[in-house]
């Protein structure tokens, strides 16, 4: 490509050699590993995102974060001009570039990416003054500054400008990149961040305008995971209090990032986060993760002889609440607007079976199952006028089609439901899962319905479930299909799993899938009682262990 100085790329690459023992692979949303290993990966991701900007003629983004991982880890997420994730068909190229062993291989891999992506005559030159740039954001991990320098060096090697968005949550970064490429481009990245809060909070205020405060005064206890979210939530506390939402923040930075706190910890361990006060029964609490793109609600039920009971309202419950509210509004639209609107709830195999039944049988909405990973759910959601998705871990959002938004805009002056749906599309971050957006969504719906957490939880009763992880010599021995619900290899394993499931009551299920990040196989089971779910998971685990070369003690 005549516009690229490959000698400069070669020379810049030499400062960031890949550790010989490190073989990075693109995961669900990017690269993630111990921060000490990632300098070469960040440099090469800088190259990749700059190349992507040149090919598209628009600004892209790069977010440095490891989300809910421990503080010693870090990672990178690449962001498209519209705020979405890197296209899946670019992931092999990202992995190949990250795994290059020499500087010449880096040059050759980059050259292949550019020549495959576009002809030389249409490559945008780096001299698009002030228009073309790569935006950088990062969370509060101590490793971020050094990794940022490596990423900037990669972008600079292609002659592309960069903008430092600064200390932001991942969802804010996706929103800012989208704004930066919009017709009404903000004057600065700071203005784009202000637009983020004004858009979400402004819509929330209109949705709850005139409604009484909840019986508890609107108090919501928020576990911030000692992450970047706390830095921004503090700024909007007073404004939201005026709108009837009193956010009380915990784990705001004094403790270690994601250590015994955060959405992932609360959802998987089903315990309140460290640093929380003793909870009153049914007090409203929620937890976000380190980069604030996951959200779960929780509380404690009334006291029993054995103490209080943890009540978790995870991503499945958020999706069900949201879908129910949206369906109610859609029913109020005139036929000229809403008669043919296609609504879908997208789940993975990990979604609790009771949530699937509720959506299908009570809400009468379509349910689509995709492989594990938010990139799959997000893609599927685009095929609906309203695509609702949340993983059980609390990562999710709702996508509204451009055509539906045009219809709603025409009807909003004469139909309050159309106006409310438009406001929901603004409260809900349209680019990616967003914990802060999720909080405003849940609080608005609960206020509109005048519901408590116990009423929300009463939508359906979760089936008891169990997850276990088995170490194996080679996870590639396990292959799956049907959105990871059926095992293809080893031959005969699915037949054994089906036979085991048949020994349990109707409604029981189990599946296995290879881990996306380590040599392990994950087993999930559901059954009418917790004892049965535990037993089924262990028996399926033993079958996997025997056929897939388990390592360590048998379950």
Ligand-binding annotation for 516, yes or no, is yes
Ligand-binding annotation for 514, yes or no, is yes
**Backbone phi and psi for residue 481, each to the nearest 5 degrees, phi listed first:** -145, -175
The β-bridge partners of 344 are 366, 387
Computed on alpha carbons and rounded to an integer, the radius of gyration of the chain in Å comes to: 24
DSSP letter, residue 393: T
Token pair of 350 as six digits? 């990990």
Q: Is 298 left (phi over 0), alpha (psi -120 to 50) or beta?
A: beta
C-alpha distance from residue 523 to each of 161, 273, 469, 470, 555 (Å): 46, 26, 6, 8, 11
**Distance between CA atoms of residues 434 and 497, nearest Å:** 36
Helix (H) or strand (E) holding 34: strand 31-34
Ligand-binding annotation for 108, yes or no, is no
Ligand-binding annotation for 34, yes or no, is no
Ligand-binding annotation for 209, yes or no, is no
**Cα–Cα nearest to 155, from 8, 295, 274:** 8
Cβ pair 369, 378 in contact under 8 A: no
Ligand-binding annotation for 198, yes or no, is no
Ligand-binding annotation for 171, yes or no, is no
Ligand-binding annotation for 89, yes or no, is no
Contacts of 51 (CB under 8 A, 6+ apart): 110, 113, 114, 117, 158
Determine how β-strand 73-79 pairs with β-strand 60-64.
antiparallel
Q: Which of 67, 109, 133, 287 is flagged as catalytic?
A: 67
Ligand-binding annotation for 46, yes or no, is no
Catalytic site includes residue 67 = yes
**Distance between CA atoms of residues 54 and 64, nearest Å:** 21
Give the start-end residues of each E strand in 280-393: 285-288, 295-300, 310-313, 343-348, 366-370, 386-390
Ligand-binding annotation for 291, yes or no, is yes
Edge-first strand listing for the sheet containing 31-34: 31-34, 73-79, 60-64, 133-138, 161-167
Torsion angle of C-alpha atoms 520, 34, 225, 179, degrees rounded to 10? -100
Token pair of 297 as six digits? 């609600």
**Backbone phi and psi for residue 448, each to the nearest 5 degrees, phi listed first:** -65, -35
Tokens 């959002």 locate to 397
Ligand-binding annotation for 522, yes or no, is yes
Cβ pair 471, 550 in contact under 8 A: yes
Q: Which residues are annotated as a binding site?
A: 67, 289, 291, 293, 391-393, 513-517, 522
Q: Which residues participate in catalysis according to the annotation?
A: 67
Question: Residue positions in the annotated binding site for Mg(2+)?
Answer: 67, 289, 291, 293
Annotated binding site for substrate: 391-393, 513-517, 522
């Amino acid at each position: 490509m005549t516009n690229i100085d490959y000698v400069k790329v070669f020379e810049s690459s030499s400062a960031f050699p890949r550790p010989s023992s490190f073989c990075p692979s693109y995961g669900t949303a990017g690269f993630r590993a111990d921060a000490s290993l990632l300098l070469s990966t960040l440099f090469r991701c800088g190259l990749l995102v700059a190349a992507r900007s040149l090919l598209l003629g628009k600004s892209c983004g790069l977010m440095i974060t490891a989300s809910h991982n421990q503080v010693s880890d870090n990672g990178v997420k690449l962001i498209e001009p519209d705020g979405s994730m890197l296209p899946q068909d670019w992931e092999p190229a990202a992995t190949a570039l990250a795994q290059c062993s020499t500087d010449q291989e880096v040059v050759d891999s980059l050259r292949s990416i550019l020549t495959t992506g576009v002809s030389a005559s249409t490559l945008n030159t780096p001299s698009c003054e002030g228009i073309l740039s790569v935006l950088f954001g990062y969370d509060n991990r101590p490793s971020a500054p050094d990794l940022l320098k490596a990423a900037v060096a990669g972008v600079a090697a292609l002659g592309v400008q960069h903008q430092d968005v600064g200390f932001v949550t991942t969802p804010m970064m996706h929103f800012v990149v989208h704004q930066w490429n919009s017709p009404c481009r903000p004057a600065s990245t700071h203005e784009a961040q202000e637009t983020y809060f004004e858009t979400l909070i402004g819509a929330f205020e209109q949705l709850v305008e005139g409604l009484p405060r909840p019986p508890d005064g609107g108090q919501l206890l928020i576990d911030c995971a000692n992450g970047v979210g706390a830095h921004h939530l503090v700024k909007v506390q007073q404004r939201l209090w005026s709108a009837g939402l009193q956010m009380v923040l915990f784990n705001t930075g004094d403790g270690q990032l994601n250590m015994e706190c955060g959405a992932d910890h609360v959802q998987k361990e089903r315990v309140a986060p460290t640093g929380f006060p003793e909870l009153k029964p049914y007090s409203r609490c929620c937890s976000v993760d380190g980069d604030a793109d996951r959200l779960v609600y929780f509380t404690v039920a009334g006291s029993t002889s054995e103490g209080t009971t943890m009540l978790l309202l995870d991503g499945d419950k958020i999706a069900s609440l949201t879908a129910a509210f949206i369906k109610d509004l859609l029913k109020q639209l005139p036929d000229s607007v809403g008669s043919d609107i296609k609504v879908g709830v997208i789940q993975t195999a990990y979604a609790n079976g009771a949530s699937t039944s509720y959506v299908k049988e009570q809400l009468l909405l379509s349910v689509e199952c995709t492989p594990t990973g938010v990139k799959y759910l997000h893609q599927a959601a685009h095929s609906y006028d309203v695509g609702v998705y949340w993983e059980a871990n609390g990562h999710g959002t709702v996508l509204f089609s451009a055509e539906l938004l045009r219809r709603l805009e025409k009807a909003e002056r004469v139909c309050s439901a159309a106006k409310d749906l438009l406001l929901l599309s603004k409260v809900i971050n349209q680019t990616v899962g967003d914990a802060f957006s999720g909080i405003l969504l849940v609080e608005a719906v609960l206020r509109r319905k005048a519901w408590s957490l116990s009423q929300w939880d009463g939508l359906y009763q979760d089936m008891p479930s169990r997850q276990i992880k088995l170490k194996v010599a080679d996870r590639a021995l396990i292959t799956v299909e049907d959105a990871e619900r059926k095992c293809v290899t080893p031959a005969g394993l699915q037949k054994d799993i089906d036979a085991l499931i048949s020994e349990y009551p109707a409604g029981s299920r189990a599946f296995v899938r290879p881990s996306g990040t380590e040599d392990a196989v994950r087993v999930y089971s559901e059954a009418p009682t917790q004892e049965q779910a535990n037993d089924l998971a262990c028996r399926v685990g033993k079958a996997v262990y025997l056929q897939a070369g388990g390592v360590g003690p048998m379950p």
